[in-house]
Amino acid sequence: MIRPFLSTLDTMRTLNITARHTALALATAIAGLLAPRAAIAQERMTVAPQEQPVVLRGATIHTVTKGTITNGTIVLDRGKITAIGGPEVAVPRGAKVVDLAGKHIYPGLIDAYSTVGITEIGSVDMSNDIQELGDFNPNVRAEVAVNAESRHIGTTRSAGVLVAFSTPEGGVISGLSSAMSLEGWTWEEMSMKGAAALNVKWPDPNARPGGRFGGGGPGGRGGPAGPPPKTYAEQVEQIKGYFAEARAYRDAVKSNQVVRTDARYAAMIPAIDGAIPVVVAAEGAAQINDAITWGKAEGVKLVIRGGRDALFVADRLKAENVPVILTSTMSAPDRDYESYDNAYATPAKLHAAGVKFAIAGGSGALYSYRLPWEAGVAVAFGLPEEEALKAVTINAAELMGVADKVGSLEVGKEATLLITSGTPLDMTSNIIQSYIQGREINMMDIHKLFFQKYMEKIKQQAPKKITP
């Protein structure tokens, strides 16, 4: 996951990553050889970049930012939206015209917190590239580890999620989220923004230092004694100290001082300068409050991720203009005093309090496909549907710095959109077709392949009628 650097250590890390990707490719190839021949023939195929103009007309177009257009027309050319409006929009010469009367067009949904492409099978280590060793890895970029052949990509797209922020985990400063368009042969082709946000895990003030067995060393209970566990205050000071070192490095570089290149500090400069947000993982009220205080002192563009107790600090979130990425909308309560709908109703209450938020599908690649229903549950518990749609489109795009490309249907933005039978936030709606950067993508995925396979099995094994 780490990009190659000049030092021997970085070279070794790069070789390690290459080995992991080679192992993953080998495993994928073996799985392909073992797969049914029919499934191989129908597997999802990457589509070439758009060459012919496409005109989608007759549908209800939900732009998200500029209202709804009935009997609308949208023109896609060279991967961009070049025109949008009513029936009067001109059809370019040589365009493919698609009649979508009775259908709906929405922007592609965006998952602001995902591991799609960097994890495949939880129990197979070589298929997981989520984290690196050590507590401080700000130079980790998720995009270079994304496996374009991941089967999770197909199932995620079938649910309407066309953009995902692939996010590294682990340690204290985990690395950089990358905005990935879910279509392409390679990670380079899929990447929209390699360094979209810096991720920090805020310590838990209620956690017991040293875990279950206290401050034992690497050998666990009975193993060699290690350093004593850090207190909450010490962990916070460690984060502050690392940012101070990165700021000093930045200042030295800007003043043309001779400094030894440090890729970790260099990767933090855009976050320190406010060019990209710092996404802080924090759930409890105390964590969120302390993270806000820290972020204000650092002068960074702060985003809270998780936000289980965001309601308890909603007034401050609004006053400090700190947005939240909610990751637990479909979660059951985990504390005895909470009502059953605590997580379901949180988006509606945050909206009423004036807090800006996005809704994520949960970090696991297995759960990104649930993103539209995470937002749909919020609608069922009081969030206006248009706000729920914003939470998985334009709000997510704005928080992560790609609103100039995706998140709404506007002239000049990428032609990344959905054609549906109804709102994508309702699981009874069908995603009929998707376009990513103007490409009419293959809608096949592994779930559909298995459905076809076993329906054929039922058909072939059905009892034969015996004619007397």
pLDDT average, residue stretch 79-92 = 96
Look up residue 181 and give its two tokens: 């368009």
The pair of three-digit structure tokens given for residue 360, joined into one six-digit string:
């994520």
DSSP string, 171-226: SSEEEEEEEEES--SSHHHHEEEEEEEEEEEPPPTTSPTTGGG-SB-TT-TTS-B-
Span 154-172, mean pLDDT?
93
What is the spatial distance between Cα 252 and Cα 255, in angstroms, rounded to a whole number? 5
Q: Pick the residue with more confidence: 234 or 6?
A: 234
pLDDT bucket at 369, cuts 50 / 70 / 90: confident
306 pLDDT band (50/70/90 cuts)?
A: very high
Residue 169, token pair as written in the block:
């985990």
CA-nearest of 31, 27, 87, 95 to 59 is 87
Q: Hey, how many other C-beta atoms are within 10 angstroms of the C-beta on 451? A: 11
| 15, pLDDT greater than 80 | no
Question: Which residues are CB-neighbours of 205 under 8 A, at least 6 positions away?
Answer: 232, 284, 286, 287, 290
Per-residue CA distances from 139 to 144, 195, 239, 300, 422 (Å): 12, 9, 15, 18, 42
Lowest model confidence (mean pLDDT) among 97-106, 327-336, 403-412: 327-336
Q: Quick check: 74 and 105 in contact, CB under 8 A?
A: yes
- For residue 25, pLDDT over 50 is answered with no
- Select from 444, 393, 441 the least CA-distant residue to 185: 441
> Would residue 413 count as lying in a domain?
no
Residue 27, Cα to own-chain centre: how many angstroms? Answer: 25
Q: Among residues 328, 374, 364, which one has the least CA distance to residue 169? A: 364
Q: With a cut of 50, say whether residue 8 has pLDDT above it.
A: no
Sign of CA dihedral 324, 328, 329, 332: negative
pLDDT tens-place string over residues 380-399: 999 999 999 999 999 999 99
β pairing state of 324-326 and 357-359: parallel
Q: What percent of the chain has pLDDT over 70?
A: 86
Tokens of 60: 């209800």
In a domain, 156, yes or no: yes
Position with higher pLDDT, 28 vs 345 = 345
pLDDT 10s digits, 256-282: 888 899 999 999 999 999 999 999 999
Q: How many domains does the chain have?
A: 1
What is the pLDDT, as a whole number, of residue 295?
A: 97
The burial class, CB within 10 Å (0-12 / 13-18 / 19+), for 143 is: buried
Higher pLDDT, 413 or 25: 413
pTM of the model: 0.85
Q: Flag whether 273 is in a domain.
A: yes
Give yes or no for residue 90 having a pLDDT over 60.
Answer: yes
How would residue 128 be classed by pLDDT, with cut points 50, 70 and 90? confident
Domain that includes residue 398, residue range = 109-208+227-406
pLDDT of 86 strictly over 80: yes
Return the axis-axis angle of helices 371-380 and 342-352, rounded to nearest 10°. Answer: 70
Position 199: which residue type?
Answer: N
Query: What per-residue confidence (pLDDT) applies to 219?
Result: 47
Q: Is the pLDDT of residue 41 over 90?
A: no
**pLDDT for the residue 192:** 95
Among the listed ranges 66-75, 143-152, 235-244, which one has the minimum average pLDDT value? 143-152
| Residue 363, pLDDT score | 58
Q: What is the CATH number of the domain that holds 296?
A: 3.20.20.140
More confident residue, 112 or 259: 112
Mean pLDDT of 45-69: 95
User: Is 274 a domain residue?
Assistant: yes
Banded model confidence at residue 421, pLDDT cuts 50, 70, 90 = very high
Q: With pLDDT > 90 as the criterion, what percentage of the chain qualifies?
A: 71
pLDDT number for residue 365: 64
Residue 147 belongs to a domain? yes
Of residues 227 and 348, more confidently modeled: 348
> Could you tell me if residue 442 is inside a domain?
no
pLDDT at 223: 56
Half-sphere exposure of 200 (CA within 13 A, CB side): 28
Quote the CA–CA distance of 410 and 192 in Å, as a whole number: 18
Calpha distance 154→424 (Å, rounded): 16
Checking DSSP bridges between strand 431-436 and strand 417-420, what pairing results, if any? Answer: antiparallel
User: Within a domain: residue 31?
Assistant: no
- What backbone torsions phi and psi does residue 78 show, to the nearest 5 degrees? 55, 40
H or E element at residue 436: strand 431-436
362: exposed, middle or buried (C-beta count within 10 Å: 0-12, 13-18, 19+)? buried
Higher pLDDT, 286 or 8: 286
Q: What is the pLDDT of residues 206-238, one digit of tens each?
A: 877 654 334 444 444 555 666 788 899 999 999
- Report if residue 58 sits inside a domain: no
- Report CA Rg, the chain: 24
Tell me the CA distances in angstroms from 327 to 8, 134, 254, 363, 448, one per residue in order: 38, 25, 38, 8, 27
Is residue 30 very low, low, confident or very high in pLDDT (cuts 50, 70, 90)? very low
| The pLDDT of residue 9 is above 70 | no
DSSP secondary structure letters along 258-323: -----HHHHHHHHHHTTSS-EEEEE-SHHHHHHHHHHHHHHT--EEEEE-TTGGGGHHHHHHTT--
The DSSP annotation for 219-264 comes to: T-TTS-B-PPPPPHHHHHHHHHHHHHHHHHHHHHHHTT------HH
